[in-house]
């Protein structure tokens, strides 16, 4: 997968700092992705399928962007640390989730970095919330970051 508008190259040491700031540990596959690209926008229009937990039917959406880690003192709307701070402080996603991308409608895509379903990828519907915990309704997409990347296909 080729990306444009990537963030600056980062190192394993940078990633350790980001993990500390977010109080989490990233799966190795995601670390490899960050070392290669540090986020960005796919050059081709990519989508993925999942079973929508609200309707229990197959659904699909696109990937607009993978969020970027910015150096200290820099920031933008796609700053992964800022996005996660906002999403968690507003109670939209659990603490053990890392929001790492979104679709063209602004729906977050996150991975569990702790607890049950660790490393699994979820589509979060920003228009629906779970009545049990108040978080955005989360539909499972893949069991791992690698599986998620493998599920991406070109929109024709």
Q: Summarize pLDDT for 69-122 with one digit per residue, the tens.
A: 988 777 787 899 999 999 999 999 999 999 999 999 999 999 999 888 899 999
Lookup result for tokens 């933008």:
76
Ordered by where they begin, the domains of the chain are 3-154 (3.40.1580.10)
Cα dist from 59 to 47, 54, 94, 129, whole Å: 10, 10, 23, 17
pLDDT in tens, 111-144: 999 888 899 999 999 988 888 888 899 999 999 9
First to last CA, the chain: 16
**How many other CB atoms sit within 10 Å of the CB of residue 58?**
9
CA distance 53 to 110: 15
Q: Which helix (H) or strand (E) holds 99?
A: strand 97-102
């Amino acid at each position: 997968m080729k990306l444009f508008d990537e963030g600056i190259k980062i190192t394993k040491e940078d990633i350790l700092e980001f993990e500390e700031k977010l109080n989490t540990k990233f799966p190795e596959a995601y670390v490899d992705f960050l070392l290669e690209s540090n986020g960005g926008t796919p050059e081709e229009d990519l989508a993925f399928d999942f079973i929508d937990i609200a309707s229990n039917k197959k659904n699909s959406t696109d990937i607009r962007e993978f969020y970027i880690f910015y150096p200290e003192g820099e920031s933008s709307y796609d700053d992964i640390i800022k996005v996660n701070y906002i999403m968690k402080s507003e109670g939209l996603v659990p603490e053990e989730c890392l929001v790492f991308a979104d679709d063209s409608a602004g729906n977050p895509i996150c991975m569990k970095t702790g607890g049950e379903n660790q490393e699994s990828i979820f589509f979060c519907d920003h228009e629906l919330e779970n009545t049990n915990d108040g978080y955005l309704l989360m539909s499972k997409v893949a069991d791992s970051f690698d599986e998620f990347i493998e599920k991406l296909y070109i929109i024709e």
